[in-house]
Structure 1
Amino acid sequence: MTIDELHADLTRSGLNLIGQALSIFDADLRLAVSNNQYKAMFDLPDALTRPGTSFEDTIRFLVERGEYGAQDDTDAAVAYRVEQARTFQPHYFERQRPDGQWIAVEGAPLGQGGWITVYTDITDIKRQESLLRARSEELSGQVLDHAERLSAANRELAATNAALQEAQRVLMRSEARIRQVTEMVPAHIAHADADYRYTFSNLQQPMVFTGATNQSIIGLTVEQALGPETFAQLRPFMDRAMTGEPQVFEITHQPSGRRIRIALTPDRTGQGVYALSTDVSAEVEAREAISHAGKRSLAARLTSGMAHDFGNLLTIILGLQGRLAEQSLPASAAEDVQATLAAARRGVTLLSRLASISLPRDLSFQPVNLPALLDEVAALARPSLAEGVTLRLDCDLPPGPLLLDPGALQDSLLNLILNANAALASLEPAWGRISVTARPAGGWLRIAVEDSGPGFSPEALTRATEPFFSTKQGQGSGLGLSMVYDQTKLAGGTLRLDNTGTGARVTLRLPLRRVTRQMVLLVEDDDTIRTDVRAMLTSLGHAVIEAASLTEARAMTDLPGLTMILSDLQLGDGLGLDLAGAGLPLVLMTALPPGDPLRSDAGWPVITKPVDPNRLATVLADVGCHDLRDRPQGAA
């Protein structure tokens, strides 16, 4: 006998011990459960007590036998009771059967559909009530009537209470299911009343609005939960929604930089609004990346056809002007030659930048002393600043190098500083300040370039990162901010433009990866691969100890100073996973494709072979900041 069969048998045995008759019919009006008392009370044949028996067949049997008295139309009587069952309502009543037996009938609907009916033999109770009426001459008939009605009312009240308790249980279970579903949804679902105070929340607000409280926000106002700045963005939309206008919009959550899409639905009772908030940062970034890729592709197609001829023309111009510059010319002519040479050289630079639009970009992560890099950027930029323009650096970072692409970052900062200088130089007279600040912000490095100029125009705020867009009236190529955007995105960061009220600001956010010098046990059974990976590790400043097999590596895991293990997943004498027991962070390398069970179930970071130096550098930087054993892992 199976467990289910045993439980069913125990249930039947228990029901048969109950003194009342009991039947349960499902939503399709078919018998699901009954006990022996049900069969005995109504003297039913076996065929009508089997699970699956039609309610209509049972009623027809009872009507034809006279259970409900003489009927002029049997079919009508059956149809009437079947229709009552289809719209079943909780009930309690008492009736006398043709054989004189009195029964109390108590019925209640079930949350799963269908209903349960309990039949209680109350013949003795009725007999006692009759004797009491006949023999108690001292008691008035009115008192006896009240007693009988009170007894019947108590029984009906008990039945109603049982039905209410069952309805409450079903409602509580339904509410629990709804709350579980809403808490599983990767979005913040909430209700706020007319005073902007939360009355419901599915506890997902911190997942969407990074930095929000992890505690329940019910009872707090939107301003208290999200801060004044975010509330100021939301309030106009909430006010319109409270007047009955549904709202769907996007905002940038300033503390985290995330892009949030919010749908507000008016509460039909007029008591506030329902809100559905979703983080769509990845979607927005994908849209921007597709847009920029399309524009770069268009630029490449427009320039590729003429780049060769244009380059030849510039070569001829530079050659002729160079020959003229070597001759003895009047001062005015010599100045014109130099100006022509400068313009031609600028054309060469522009041509190179146009060509680079469609070329693949590669990162080159290295340990970088950021304060020193900023000093170098300032030294390169200051000679080009307009007279009256000052440049100030403000770097507040923990000591130690960061993992960055120094070339790309230096190019981006120089571009931003020179753009700010151009904005200040357009003032009469040219005057102002440029500041570069670098701060840690959570898991990000935040670098902001601000100026005290006129700020971005509304059009520039939305289009400045597009290739060829420029506000310099023919003096700029329109490629500077576009290239800064591309380099920042490639490094895994974000770029934001805004006005401060006293000028313009461009903010770069890059992953904050602190470089910690590691002593790495490198385990690889291929000599060539081991040599290549060792060179990558040492170029990043890490110390390396090598092992050519699992057996050799096991003998080295207790060496003093060892901080991590980098191992091939499949070694000649075993799996690199076996080194996980050494108690050190483990990073694995493999040529197995993503999705391979051995790779997917590793439980540690996995780097794909051939090993990419930048990927290796980022994983090692993460090892320096976190214990990777506590992180869910896939392919690094």
Structure 2
Amino acid sequence: MNDKRATTGRLTQAGLNLIGQALSIYDADLRLAVSNRMYATMFDLPEHLTRPGATFADTIRFLVLRGEYGHVPDVEKTVAERVAQARAFEPHYLERTRPDGRVLAVEGSPLPEGGWVTVYTDITATRAQERLLRTRSEVLSDQLLTRHEELAQANRQLAASNSALQEARREATEMAARIRLTTEMLPAHIARLDRSRRYTFSNRRLGAVMPGAKSDIVGLTMEEALGPQTYAGIAPHLTAALAGEAPVFEITHEPSSRRIRVSFTPEIEADEVMGVYALSVDITEEAQARAAVSQAAGRQVAAQLTSGMAHDFANLLTVILGLKDKLSRFDLPPAAREAVDAIGLAATRGGVLIDQIAGLSGPRDLAPRATDLRAFMSELALLGGASLPKETTLEWDVQGLEAPVLLDPEALRDAVLNLILNARDAIGAESGVITVEAKPVRDTWLEVTVSDDGPGFSAAALEKGIEPFFTEKGEDGTGLGLSMVYDVVKLAGGRTRLSNAPDGGARVTMRLPLRRPPPGLPPTLVLLVEDAPHIREAVRERLVAGGHSVLEAGSVAEALELLDIEGIGLLLTDIMLKTDETGLDLAREARGRGLRAAMMTSLPPDAPLFREAARDWPVLRKPFSVEKLSAALS
């Protein structure tokens, strides 16, 4: 390839040397890039000024000192002026008479990358013939000759301008093609609409942002392109943009359930809006994560507000129960004894309520892992069916979703069981059917619906059902069941909706982000470090059942002797070991040897060692499954 390029370069240079005109090309740094032999001959330049890399300033200085431009009082000032003119180079044509009397036609054009090309033509003979013609001709008048000269010079200037214009047009065409290619590659829809709300430009990405929408929409109105339902939510913002505002807003694209952020920028000329530029981006995952973070933050605030009160209330209930026990030992009349027993029941119920409040507002970490929804539903039917009367049937169905999905099965199980029990209570003693269904909504959501054929939700329940402490069960309800469901779904970045079926019965729909699990931990050699033999044995059995090989150690010292064994793919160690050193020290040693590590512990999440370990390594609470280990390491 290099030989071929060298040959091409030599041929090009040979061809340039055969041209009867002088040619020079300077780059954007004002250094000579290319010249031919006539360039050196015409100006009698030394060899070092005709080599690539020679500076324009050195060449001008040489010519000035030689007298090419006549008497020059200040050489460096003249050189600086010529260099400044070259940096602001514009297409030109001129004729110049050299000190030796020769006349040169000079034609220059800028290059798109910077720099310029100049062609020098010796027109001495042509000008001599014109002078001879002027003195000898009796036919042509001086005015005609002058006009001829002016037209000839104008034609040369026009040719130079046309050349520059063609180059500019070519560059603009290439730039437009690059812009089109760039906009097509962006993960967003970019478009322009005129004042009649009709698309005049689109990068054909609308279908990728709003699945099901057309991609070829130039010439269509926005309503025709998006459909009446989607357009209705956008139209007021487009009206504001056509009035000169620049709105940024979010909508839910109902056909695909995706969350879309749209921004409008008005195109204003002479204080008049000529059109609107539109940018639409799919922010579904961002919105899901934002909802989860917001819910987690709300839980933290609630925990801070309720923890102190719950502590004091628990102390008060302890006093009440103590006094109740003391009163129970007295010989009281039947009515008083019933009152004392009622006090005990109320205080005990208050303790249960505190536990539920703590579960609702306290810290709860979701632990998503690969879950087979059909196996999940089968287990759920066994658990839920055991709590139902014989007259009530539990049915379940999974549509699609053959591959595992990423979710927290324990949290979802708690939520669905809670809804099953609520449906059981709503149906009452009558016979009925409770149905649990799961299906994908495009590739965005996993929709889990629990419905029954009972009396359905009241208007108040539809409005306030997910609020804490709202209940229509009287003294038998705490009002925390649906709140717990809402909380779990919100923490996962989803949403919950209460409704009544058209043919009667209540329906609770939970939409969770539909995510596929990452590849699991491939079979590997695991160094397991645990000082409790029975726990070490249980973890070893789970790892072996998951297809892994296991080396065991009961202390940091034993583990250090095994770390250098070839083929170890993972260190799995308990944080607390019965030595001065902890699992963190061992994990740091493993990291220094380029070995992956994970921690396991029974410590609470707020323990100092737990927090310190979680900053650098995956931490699993005991007991855990191999699936949880794989999810933590993905």
Partner of 1:274: 277
Q: Find the residue that maps to 1:89 and give its secondary structure.
A: coil
Partner of 1:239: 239
Structure 1 segment 425-574 matched on structure 2, within 5 A: 437-443=437-443, 444-448=445-449, 453-454=458-459, 479-488=480-489, 492=492, 494-497=494-497, 506-509=509-512, 511=514, 524=525, 532=539, 535=542, 574=567
TM superposition shift of 1:298:
0.9
Partner of 1:53: 55
The answer to whether residue 255 in structure 2 is matched with residue 285 in structure 1 is no
TM superposition shift of 1:240:
0.6
Of stretches 171-180 and 103-112 in structure 1, the one that deviates more from structure 2 is 171-180
Higher RCO (CA 8 Å, separation ≥ 6 residues): 2
Distance 1:277-1:21 versus aligned 2 partners, 3 A rule = same
Distance 1:382-1:610 versus aligned 2 partners, 3 A rule = closer
Which blocks of at least 5 consecutive residues in structure 1 are unaligned? 384-389, 426-432, 539-543, 550-569, 578-590, 601-606, 623-633
Give the counterpart letter for 2:40 in structure 1: K
In the aligned structure 1, how far is the partner of 2:64 from the partner of 2:157? Answer: 25
TM superposition shift of 1:124:
4.6
Partner of 2:110: 109
Distance 1:314-1:13 versus aligned 2 partners, 3 A rule = farther
- Which of these residues, 409, 412, 415, is aligned with residue 412 of structure 1? 415
Distance 1:612-1:167 versus aligned 2 partners, 3 A rule = farther
TM superposition shift of 1:176:
5.2
- Which of these residues, 377, 390, 397, is aligned with residue 399 of structure 2? 397
Partner of 1:430: none
Of stretches 109-118 and 360-369 in structure 1, the one that deviates more from structure 2 is 360-369
The answer to whether residue 396 in structure 2 is matched with residue 370 in structure 1 is no
In the aligned structure 2, how far is the partner of 1:498 from the partner of 1:231? Answer: 26
TM superposition shift of 1:349:
1.7
Partner of 1:355: 358
Partner of 1:301: 307
Structure 1 segment 138-287 matched on structure 2, within 5 A: 152=153, 154-175=155-176, 178=179, 187-201=188-202, 209=209, 211=211, 215=215, 218=218, 221-223=221-223, 226-255=226-255, 257-269=257-269, 270-278=273-281, 279=283, 280-281=286-287, 284-285=290-291, 287=293
The answer to whether residue 22 in structure 2 is matched with residue 21 in structure 1 is yes
In the aligned structure 1, how far is the partner of 2:50 from the partner of 2:164? Answer: 25
Give the counterpart letter for 1:106 in structure 2: E
Contact 1:241 1:247 in 2 (8 A): yes
Q: Find the residue that maps to 2:112 and give its secondary structure.
A: coil
In the aligned structure 2, how far is the partner of 1:423 from the partner of 1:263? Answer: 46
Contact 1:371 1:395 in 2 (8 A): no
Distance 1:146-1:54 versus aligned 2 partners, 3 A rule = closer
Partner of 2:557: none
TM superposition shift of 1:48:
5.7
Question: TM-score w.r.t. structure 1 length?
Answer: 0.64
Contact 2:262 2:278 in 1 (8 A): yes
Partner of 1:92: 93
In the aligned structure 2, how far is the partner of 1:195 from the partner of 1:219? Answer: 11
Distance 1:407-1:73 versus aligned 2 partners, 3 A rule = closer
Count of matched residue pairs: 553
Q: Find the residue that maps to 1:264 and give its secondary structure.
A: strand
Contact 1:416 1:449 in 2 (8 A): yes
Of stretches 302-311 and 4-13 in structure 1, the one that deviates more from structure 2 is 4-13
Give the counterpart letter for 1:454 in structure 2: A
Contact 1:90 1:108 in 2 (8 A): yes
Give the counterpart letter for 1:305 in structure 2: H
Distance 1:436-1:295 versus aligned 2 partners, 3 A rule = farther
Question: TM-score w.r.t. structure 2 length?
Answer: 0.64
Q: What are the Cα deviations for residues 267-303 of structure 1, in whole angstroms up to 9, with x where unaligned?
A: 2243322233442326523641452243244145324
Structure 1 segment 322-337 matched on structure 2, within 5 A: 329=334
Q: Find the residue that maps to 2:262 and give its secondary structure.
A: strand
Q: Find the residue that maps to 1:272 and give its secondary structure.
A: strand
TM superposition shift of 1:165:
3.2
In the aligned structure 1, how far is the partner of 2:621 from the partner of 2:4? Answer: 55
In the aligned structure 2, how far is the partner of 1:500 from the partner of 1:114? Answer: 75
Partner of 2:556: none
The answer to whether residue 622 in structure 2 is matched with residue 617 in structure 1 is no
Contact 1:402 1:512 in 2 (8 A): no
Q: What are the Cα deviations for residues 173-195 of structure 1, in whole angstroms up to 9, with x where unaligned?
A: 54455556656665544433334
TM superposition shift of 1:485:
4.2
Distance 1:83-1:500 versus aligned 2 partners, 3 A rule = farther
Q: What are the Cα deviations for residues 85-121 of structure 1, in whole angstroms up to 9, with x where unaligned?
A: 4543222234444444333322222333343322223
In the aligned structure 1, how far is the partner of 2:170 from the partner of 2:591? Answer: 47
Contact 1:456 1:499 in 2 (8 A): no
Output the aligned Cα RMSD.
6.0
Give the counterpart letter for 1:294 in structure 2: Q
TM superposition shift of 1:155:
3.9
Distance 1:132-1:311 versus aligned 2 partners, 3 A rule = farther
